[in-house]
Structure 1
């Protein structure tokens, strides 16, 4: 191709882009100008660019960028992300307005493109619009999938998988171990068994016995699903332009992943149906999530909205996707901070070892007595919330925040738990890792009632699975601290541990955590 041809192509592209921008400005600002009452006061907003608004402010670490903006503009910020009006909340007082005072108006979800595909039309609990179906789906999750009785019924699975991890750790005694990988595999095994009834990966990254390629395929399909749900999609910021998803290649990628999800889920469901389990109470105790949802699906007379096969797939995948990354990330950050703070680790180990000394192992019945360990987990989640930007809400009607700022209807609302957890007005020495702040009479729990601490969100759309996730985190940490002493690799000091994050479904360490386990009490 000669230089003249290249120049013609460049000029043609520039003319096309200029025409496109002119059409956009003419249509949206001349033919359809926005009218707004002069009395309406929007929250503070930084300078924006034509066409894209504030999209240029979205970095690889948006929660950090938004926290920095909050320092300059205040705890409530208005952004125009492409065509989407967005409000970012960065203080516990304003979070209370959203999650409590105006919870009934802020309980909707924006229909994000990846969720429309991979949650089978946004029919899971996380992304489904507020209404009868969501209320029913949440009720099924709270009463059937994630009730105290059901969480307790999975105790054997947690016990087996944690002990399996301990044996793998013991095999690396006195040598460097990729702890991040161990935690990811643990969370994957637990969630696969709880959701689908069996493990889909062994320690060598190969398929377990039975099912062969299907099981290996499930792991790859779900990995792609998690990546797609975690990433930013350009089309989400320009909802009037559906063609953007085709041009960017996102539609093709989503369509393929949805097809793969349907295939592997259909195989799993058909496998469950073919087992023809009995209905005795003994068997009900051993139900996995697919079993439970198949049973509930048949109870049509008790359902306000029928549960379709696609709804069933969306609900069970929601439990898996939401649980895997958050569980492994919480374990990873907790062990990272313990390794950086040996005195804190020693105190946590002393507590665990005193409680379990008579039996030689930690049982789940011991967990309510491990007060300092729970404080360690809370302090970790304060500094490293697994979901630093809560899943966006969407206002269903105009409302007033803090008695002065108007939030228009259909505005996306983001709550920055990362910024709230590091707010100097709420926490003394907020950047210091100090579990003692959670020890004492003024106990802050995980349930989202104290808006300074929102690791699982709050209000109507708060995470219904927090007790299930905590059970896995607590028993894993307690046994790791009881059976092993832990050291950083030779030549790595506490200040040299990399704390760089990767933003995703859960915020994890960019570099894997490497530690050296030393057997203290031989695992069973």
Structure 2
């Protein structure tokens, strides 16, 4: 009897699954046909049953999607895809992107309710992935007020200055122990600086080397699982059978995020017990929010909200800023004239008798242009964090977009569009200098590396300052060189890492050696 019941049970489950899949597909098809019937048809490649266009996707995703748009887009600036039963709108035109996040900003402000997102962040959603609504507004407002507004950025500049000094001191010690001609893993150096700069602002203390490594592994695994091409999100059978143990892996990551975020709060409470003199409690994000919690905030402010704000600042800020620093160094090493020009500017403005401060960045236009050009060529998220239509709408002259459609934006290709930029594939920081005629604000270029509309990244100011301090101190204190040709291949992921981590030769700048000797960790 038992041997018969198992096949019957499996067959019943399979039948239920097929029935559910067909109902989902028919429902999605019905919605799309109704929407298309009310507007112009959006170009789309031939699709397969059940999987849709998933079989066409290859790594890196942003280049694959751009290639599909070139082949099937018919110059409409739009491409309609289907990931399983999920309709996906791929936007490839700057004018359509502008329309999406101005005219239709509210309709497209939601995030897809993907299974991976629910498994990873339901008990602690991030600001970037939270559904559009009251919780997202609360999280964004708290992060802005307590960390990301101009006043708080100015107040926390000293923490980033201190983290930059520590980075220079650590790098000097590593080079001394490694000997002449030492090689440096740029991303590792940058990551340690960025995570400690933000951690000091969030919790008032730095991470140990072991903590940095664990946090890095947790963050990178989370970003890898959050990509738009995670097939488990679009094929229910994969989720049901848990091929690759994806669900278990995401559940473990969710627990790790929960433990890490709660440990920050618990440790802060231990170090600063309730009733401690105010002057002994430094201004930090956790400290501000805990005081607000204790004083009886008019809105719910439990530990879940506090750790969500802190994890959002740490995880989103570290990964994106670190990747930008690594790409910037790779571009500079591949363009020695630009590298020399940036270093000479710093030595001319700041000198060699003191270390660069964040306040110096305003007087370094070429360094700021290097950052802008890096963001143009290597945007933080080449297709942005996915949006979702919360209601039917018509864009770009009547193309119908059905409720529930996921929206991806081809920022990577648009920021390299030859119709918008002169020599778009070239690294030319000069195009952002005030006396250059090829500037985006003159209508001849288009950029949105931090997004657009109400879901625009609120951490732009922090990111630019953090990247500027890292690059500035690295160029001021050390001389950098290539170890062969720099591999500029792009990896896969939400934040487009380098496929091959950048390793460069490094030695202290002769005129900075005496100053470096005085730095302590």
TM-score with structure 1 setting the length = 0.85
Tell me the secondary structure at the aligned position of residue 100 of structure 1: coil
Equivalent pair of 1:277/1:283 in contact (CA under 8 Å): no
Q: Provide the residue aligned with 2:408 in structure 1.
A: 414
Alignment CA distance shift 1:103-1:250 (3 Å):
same
Offset of residue 262 of structure 1: 2.7
Within 1, Cα distance between the matches of 2:155 and 2:280?
A: 11
Offset of residue 200 of structure 1: 2.5
Structure 1 unaligned residues grouped into runs of 5+: 1-11, 208-214
Alignment CA distance shift 1:49-1:511 (3 Å):
same
Equivalent pair of 1:111/1:127 in contact (CA under 8 Å): no
Tell me the secondary structure at the aligned position of residue 339 of structure 2: helix
Tell me the secondary structure at the aligned position of residue 413 of structure 2: helix
Give the counterpart of 1:196 among 197, 203, 216: 203
Tell me the secondary structure at the aligned position of residue 88 of structure 1: strand
Does residue 1:404 correspond to 2:398, yes or no?
Answer: yes
Does residue 1:344 correspond to 2:372, yes or no?
Answer: no
Deviations 1:437-462 (CA, angstroms, capped at 9, x unpaired) = 11126899999x99811111111001
Alignment CA distance shift 1:433-1:442 (3 Å):
closer
Within 2, Cα distance between the matches of 1:370 and 1:437?
A: 15
Within 2, Cα distance between the matches of 1:511 and 1:190?
A: 25
Offset of residue 42 of structure 1: 3.2
Within 2, Cα distance between the matches of 1:175 and 1:145?
A: 37
User: How many pairs were matched up?
Assistant: 493
Give the counterpart of 1:518 among 493, 504, 507: 507
Offset of residue 196 of structure 1: 3.3
Equivalent pair of 2:431/2:439 in contact (CA under 8 Å): no
Within 2, Cα distance between the matches of 1:296 and 1:336?
A: 43
Offset of residue 399 of structure 1: 1.5
Within 2, Cα distance between the matches of 1:166 and 1:147?
A: 27
Q: Provide the residue aligned with 1:5 in structure 2.
A: none
Equivalent pair of 1:43/1:405 in contact (CA under 8 Å): yes
Offset of residue 222 of structure 1: 4.5
Range with greater deviation from structure 2 (115-124 or 79-88): 115-124
Offset of residue 258 of structure 1: 2.3
Offset of residue 326 of structure 1: 0.7
Q: What pairs up with 1:92-241 in 2 under 5 angstroms?
A: 92-121=94-123, 123-171=125-173, 172=175, 174-202=181-209, 206=210, 221-222=218-219, 224-230=221-227, 232-238=229-235
Deviations 1:212-269 (CA, angstroms, capped at 9, x unpaired) = xxx8765654554444335843342246x69537455222222222233333333332
Q: Provide the residue aligned with 1:508 in structure 2.
A: 497
Within 1, Cα distance between the matches of 2:116 and 2:17?
A: 27
Q: Provide the residue aligned with 2:455 in structure 1.
A: 461
Within 1, Cα distance between the matches of 2:379 and 2:466?
A: 17
Within 2, Cα distance between the matches of 1:29 and 1:348?
A: 55
Within 1, Cα distance between the matches of 2:28 and 2:452?
A: 38
Within 2, Cα distance between the matches of 1:31 and 1:468?
A: 44
Offset of residue 114 of structure 1: 3.0
Within 2, Cα distance between the matches of 1:30 and 1:469?
A: 44
Offset of residue 283 of structure 1: 5.5
Give the counterpart of 2:273 among 264, 270, 276: 276
Q: Provide the residue aligned with 2:431 in structure 1.
A: 437
Equivalent pair of 1:272/1:291 in contact (CA under 8 Å): yes
Within 2, Cα distance between the matches of 1:393 and 1:26?
A: 25
Deviations 1:386-430 (CA, angstroms, capped at 9, x unpaired) = 211110111122222111311111211111211111111111111
Equivalent pair of 1:87/1:413 in contact (CA under 8 Å): yes
Q: What pairs up with 1:64-75 in 2 under 5 angstroms?
A: 64-72=63-71, 73=73, 74=75, 75=77
Tell me the secondary structure at the aligned position of residue 413 of structure 1: strand
Aligned-residue Cα RMSD (Å) equals 3.3
Offset of residue 341 of structure 1: 0.5
Structure 2 unaligned residues grouped into runs of 5+: 1-7
Deviations 1:82-123 (CA, angstroms, capped at 9, x unpaired) = 111110112221110112121121111112323323323464
Offset of residue 46 of structure 1: 1.1
Equivalent pair of 1:42/1:78 in contact (CA under 8 Å): no
Offset of residue 515 of structure 1: 1.5
Q: Provide the residue aligned with 1:9 in structure 2.
A: none
Equivalent pair of 1:235/1:245 in contact (CA under 8 Å): no
Within 2, Cα distance between the matches of 1:137 and 1:26?
A: 38
Tell me the secondary structure at the aligned position of residue 157 of structure 1: helix
Range with greater deviation from structure 2 (424-433 or 33-42): 33-42
Q: Provide the residue aligned with 1:423 in structure 2.
A: 417
Q: Provide the residue aligned with 2:359 in structure 1.
A: 365
Alignment CA distance shift 1:19-1:148 (3 Å):
same
Offset of residue 137 of structure 1: 1.8
Does residue 1:45 correspond to 2:44, yes or no?
Answer: yes
Give the counterpart of 1:252 among 248, 264, 286: 248
Q: Provide the residue aligned with 1:472 in structure 2.
A: 466
Equivalent pair of 1:116/1:122 in contact (CA under 8 Å): no
Deviations 1:343-373 (CA, angstroms, capped at 9, x unpaired) = 1111112211111127433222211111111
Give the counterpart of 2:304 among 303, 310, 319: 310
